[in-house]
């Protein structure tokens, strides 16, 4: 079968600079499975490939029998528009997968130009669905899909999780335009990402990971992980790897085994964890092991500097654990990142001040302050909706740089924005921090990436002093 896989635009939602840091992994894995099964596959990324509506219309006229889309909640509207174009201009079957298809299948199927949804992990489901389409079988036997039949929504039973992740082929990176992807904060290029596990055992009230991959964590074997790293070196000349797992250090033994496998094969690269680690899953021995394998940068998801807010969010962390993780990382000589969220339940003007104060005490190299986006399917979404605190249900406005979509008792949307602006000002407008930002440009490659991404100290300060009002 001739198949087109599409990553819809997220430039308006996440910002042009963030829209193609990394290739869409979900399509890479689906593409690899389909390619291995003998199908003719093409992947396009609307932002990275700079595809206009006119060019998209030309592409879909290439006699594709199936066009598949991936979508997060904020990008669903973009994916739905593209599905409509496909159905208007071709006879192709349209399939939607990803987190939004998983958490809101009934809502997705209200759009008649979406033929099928693939819920949860899609690698096995998509093959079964294609076989059913080709053989003209009853779709009811395909687990993990949803579709319309005689005017009603049909949800097939959920598909079992893939037990052995080693059985999944490596992402079909040859189907991406690798040169289009550029993570700006790196030491060396080419920079390539890798995922070594799926699932999350924790119960954070605002997170969607467990909704897609469940709370059962499955790990790729150390050999399989390092096999892929070798491929990235030999085929794509990788010099830096970004590990974007949610729980890389959850399995302590495997952390050491991957390090040892890299040493055994005499592989020396730079590694970083831009997705952040959990502070309670590291200690001095683990952090030393990471540095020994080539890690130079770790991030920690802090979220709040107030213990009650952390407890409300079911983080299962203490401020003391977070402080210790940062202290150890700095002692070992690792760069540190920090992610913070304003607007979690229980947030007040005082707890925002607590977070700003805590951030300055932790003093990571880079701090990112976000405003909560309560995605449907999460506990916090239903809590805020139940309490009448949701103010926006247009999911295309749920991006990182869009206005808040909720308020809290005593805090309006504008109060959250003011808190975010204040945090950036107080953290970065310190002489010592500005000097450190300049000093951390440790290589020509990092300087080049910073310039190419449009990032500079002057632009950072301009954003901090004159923010874009989160429009």
Tens of pLDDT along the chain (471 residues) come to 999 999 999 887 776 655 567 888 899 999 999 999 999 999 999 998 999 999 999 999 988 999 999 999 999 999 999 999 999 999 999 999 999 999 999 999 999 999 999 999 999 999 999 999 998 877 888 999 999 999 999 999 999 999 999 999 999 999 998 777 877 678 888 889 999 999 999 999 999 988 889 889 999 999 999 999 999 999 999 999 999 998 999 999 999 999 999 999 999 999 999 889 999 999 999 999 999 999 999 999 999 999 999 999 999 999 999 999 999 999 999 999 999 999 999 999 999 999 999 999 999 999 999 999 999 999 999 999 999 999 999 999 998 878 999 999 999 999 999 999 999 999 999 999 888 888 877 666 666 655 554 444 445 444 444 444 444
The Cα–Cα gap between 196 and 194 comes to 6
Return the C-alpha torsion angle 201, 207, 213, 216, nearest 10. 10
CA dihedral (260, 262, 263, 269) positive or negative: negative
Max Cα distance, the chain (Å): 68
**Residue 270: what are its φ and ψ, rounded to 5°?**
-90, 140
Query: What's the chain's Rg over C-alpha atoms?
Result: 22
Element counts in the chain: helices (H) and strands (E): 19, 15
190 and 178 Cβ atoms separated by less than 8 Å: yes
Residues 182-465: name the CATH superfamily: tm_1862 like domain (3.80.30.20)
| 3-state secondary structure (DSSP) of residue 115 | coil
Identify the three-state secondary structure at position 457: helix
Q: How far is it, in rounded angstroms, from Cα 24 to Cα 8?
A: 10
Q: What is the pLDDT of residue 464?
A: 45
Angle, vertex CA 176, rays to CA 73 and CA 129, nearest 5: 60
Q: Which CATH architecture has domain 2-155?
A: 3-Layer(aba) Sandwich (3.40)
Structure tokens at 72: 């997060």
Burial 6-25 (b: 16+ CB within 10 A, else e): bbbbbbbbbeeebbbbbbbe
Which residues are CB-neighbours of 466 under 8 A, at least 6 positions away? none
Starting at the edge strand found earlier in the chain, the sheet holding 145-149 runs: 40-45, 2-7, 66-70, 93-97, 116-118, 145-149, 152-155
Residues 110 and 383 sit within 8 Å (Cβ to Cβ): no
Q: Are 98 and 72 in contact (CB under 8 A)?
A: yes
Domain boundaries, the chain: 2-155, 182-465
Q: At 205, give phi and psi (nearest 5°).
A: -70, -15
Residue 138: is the preceding peptide bond cis (ω within 30°)?
Answer: no
Degrees, nearest 5: CA angle 403-406-410: 110
For tokens 């050491």, the residue is 256
CB neighbour list of residue 21: distance below 8 Å, 6 or more residues apart: 181, 182, 183, 184
**DSSP assignment, residue 390?**
B
Using alpha carbons only, give the angle 36, 10, 94 rounded to the nearest 5 degrees.
45
Residue length of the chain: 471
């Amino acid at each position: 079968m001739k198949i087109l896989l599409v990553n819809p635009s997220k430039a308006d939602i996440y910002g042009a600079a963030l829209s193609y840091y990394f290739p869409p992994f979900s399509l890479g894995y689906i593409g690899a499975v389909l390619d291995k099964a003998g199908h003719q596959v093409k992947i396009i990324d609307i932002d990275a490939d700079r595809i206009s509506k006119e060019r998209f219309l030309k592409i879909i006229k290439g006699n594709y029998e199936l066009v598949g889309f991936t979508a997060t909640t904020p990008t669903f509207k973009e994916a739905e528009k593209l599905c409509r174009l496909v159905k208007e201009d071709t006879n192709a079957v349209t399939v939607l997968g990803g987190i939004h298809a998983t958490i809101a299948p009934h809502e997705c199927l209200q759009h008649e130009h979406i033929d099928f949804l693939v819920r949860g992990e899609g690698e096995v489901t998509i093959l079964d669905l294609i076989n059913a389409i080709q053989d003209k079988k009853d779709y009811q036997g395909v687990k993990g899909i949803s579709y319309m039949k005689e005017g009603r929504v049909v949800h097939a039973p959920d598909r079992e999780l893939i037990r052995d992740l080693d059985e999944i082929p490596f992402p079909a990176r040859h189907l991406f335009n690798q040169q289009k992807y550029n993570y700006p904060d790196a030491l060396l290029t080419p920079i390539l990402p890798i995922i070594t596990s799926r699932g999350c055992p924790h119960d954070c009230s605002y997170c969607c990971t467990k909704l897609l991959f469940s709370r059962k964590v499955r790990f790729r074997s150390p050999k399989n992980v390092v096999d892929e790293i070798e491929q990235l070196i030999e085929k794509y000349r990788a010099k830096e790897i970004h590990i974007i797992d949610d729980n890389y250090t959850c399995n302590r033994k495997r952390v050491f085994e991957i390090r040892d496998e890299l040493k055994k094969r005499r592989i020396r690269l730079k590694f970083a964890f831009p997705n952040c680690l959990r502070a309670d899953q590291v200690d001095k021995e683990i952090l030393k092991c990471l540095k020994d394998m080539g890690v130079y940068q770790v991030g920690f998801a802090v979220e709040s500097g107030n213990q009650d807010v952390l407890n409300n969010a079911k983080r299962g962390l203490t401020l003391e654990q977070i402080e210790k993780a940062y202290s150890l990382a700095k002692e070992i000589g690792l760069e540190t990142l920090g992610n913070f969220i304003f607007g979690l339940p229980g947030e007040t003007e005082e707890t925002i001040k607590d977070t700003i104060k805590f951030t300055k005490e932790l003093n990571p190299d880079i701090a990112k302050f976000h405003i909560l986006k309560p995605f449907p399917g999460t506990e916090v979404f239903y809590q805020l909706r139940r309490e009448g605190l949701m103010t926006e249900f247009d999911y295309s406005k749920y991006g990182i740089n869009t206005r808040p979509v909720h308020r809290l008792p005593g805090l309006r949307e504008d109060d959250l924005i003011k808190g975010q602006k204040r945090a950036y000002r107080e953290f970065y407008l310190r002489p010592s921090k500005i000097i450190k930002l300049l000093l951390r440009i440790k290589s020509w490659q990092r300087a080049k990436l910073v310039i190419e991404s449009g990032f500079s100290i002057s632009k950072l300060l301009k954003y901090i002093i004159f923010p874009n009002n989160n429009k």
